[in-house]
Structure 1
Amino acid sequence: MSELHVPYQHRLSLPPGSSVTIEGKPTKCFSMNPQLQVDLHTGNDENSDIAFHFRVYFGDCVVMNSRDCAGWGFPVKSCEMPFENGKPFKLVISVLQNEYQVKVNDQYCYSFPHRVDPQYVEMMQVWRDVSLTSVCVCERDG
C-alpha cells in the first residue's frame, strides 16, 4: 500500500456520529522523540482555529487542546501510551454529542469535551514524524 503525503490535509465535515480513522507508523524510534499531530481546523488553512488538537509525544504522553482567536485553551495531558515503538497504529477519532473519543488499536484511550462546536470543522491536518498508509472519514448517514 502506498504512503500518503505528510503533512496530510483533508477537507471534511464532522457532525456528531462521524469519525476519522488514521493508520500509520512512527518514522523514528521512540528514543528520538517522534511526534504525531492531528488538528481539526474550523477553516481551510493551518492558521484557522482548531476545534480539536491531538498531539502524541511517542513513548511519553498525549496532549489535547483547542485554539481560537484568543489563543490556546487549557491543555489536557494523559500519560497513557498505547502506541508501541516501531509498530503500526490505528487511531480512530469519533465525534460524539459532547466530546471527541479517541481509540488506539481498537482500545478506548482518551476523551476531550467540545470547546468549539464540531459543526464548524472544515479541515483536518495530520503531520509530524509519521508515515500514513490510510486516512478514512466516515460521515454520519442522513
Structure 2
Amino acid sequence: MEYLPVLYKKNVSISVGSSVKINGTPIMPFCMTPELQVDFFIGTNEDSDIAFSLRVYFGKELVMNSRQGGKWGPEVKYTDMPFRDGQPLEVYISVLSNEYQVTANGVQYYTFPHQVDSASVRMIQVWRDVSLTSVEITP
C-alpha cells in the first residue's frame, strides 16, 4: 500500500457541495494521544486564516474551530468519537450551505457552522500523527 506524505497540502477551490475524504491510520497507540489535524486555509500559506480546522486527539476529544484575523474563535468540542485504537480511519467532510458536516467511520457525528465563506478556501492541509492512504477532494 502506498502512503501519502504527512504534511499533506493541496491547493483547492471548494464550494457548497464539495467534500474531502481522508483515509489513514494513527501511527501510535491512543494511550500516547496521537492527533489528526485538517485545516481549510483561506490563502495558500500556513499564516492564512482558517475557515475550518478539525483536530482529533484520538482516545480523548475532537475540536473544531476557525481562525480569523490571526485569532482563533471559540472551540466546538466533542468527546464521543467512533475511532478505535489501531484501526484504520475515514473522515468525510461535507461542505453544506451553512455548515461543515463531519462523518467519521461512516457515522455522521459532528457539525460546525461556517464562520468564513467556504468559497474562499484555497488550500487544505492534513497532518499530525497519521499514515495517510488517501485524501480525495470532490469539487
TM-score (normalised: structure 1): 0.96
For residue 16 of structure 1, what is the aligned residue in structure 2? 16
Cα 1:70–1:14, aligned 2, differ >3 Å: closer, same or farther? same
For residue 67 of structure 1, what is the aligned residue in structure 2? 67
For residue 134 of structure 1, what is the aligned residue in structure 2? 134
- Percent identical pairs in the alignment equals 53
Deviations 1:89-133 (A, max 9, x none): 111000000000000111101000000000000000000000000
- Write out aligned runs for 1:97-136 (5 A): 97-136=97-136
Q: Does 1:85 align with 2:85?
A: yes
**Consecutive unaligned residues in structure 1, runs of 5 or more:** none
**Consecutive unaligned residues in structure 2, runs of 5 or more:** none
Superposition deviation, residue 57 in structure 1? 0.4
| Structure 1: distance between partners of 2:35 and 2:70 | 25
Letter in structure 1 aligned against 2:8: Y
| Structure 2: distance between partners of 1:45 and 1:31 | 32
| Structure 2: distance between partners of 1:118 and 1:32 | 33
Instruction: Check whether the contact 2:35–2:58 (CA below 8 A) recurs between aligned residues.
Output: yes
Letter in structure 2 aligned against 1:116: V
| Structure 2: distance between partners of 1:7 and 1:29 | 20
> What secondary structure is seen at the aligned counterpart in 1 of 2:31?
helix
| Structure 1: distance between partners of 2:70 and 2:94 | 26
Runs of 4+ aligned structure 1 residues displaced above 4 Å come to none
> What secondary structure is seen at the aligned counterpart in 1 of 2:119?
helix
TM-score (normalised: structure 2): 0.98
- Write out aligned runs for 1:37-52 (5 A): 37-52=37-52
Cα 1:96–1:88, aligned 2, differ >3 Å: closer, same or farther? same
> What secondary structure is seen at the aligned counterpart in 2 of 1:86?
coil
> What secondary structure is seen at the aligned counterpart in 2 of 1:4?
coil
| Structure 2: distance between partners of 1:117 and 1:43 | 13
| Structure 1: distance between partners of 2:109 and 2:13 | 23
Superposition deviation, residue 70 in structure 1? 4.7
For the aligned residue pairs, the C-alpha RMSD in angstroms reads 0.7
Instruction: Check whether the contact 2:49–2:70 (CA below 8 A) recurs between aligned residues.
Output: no
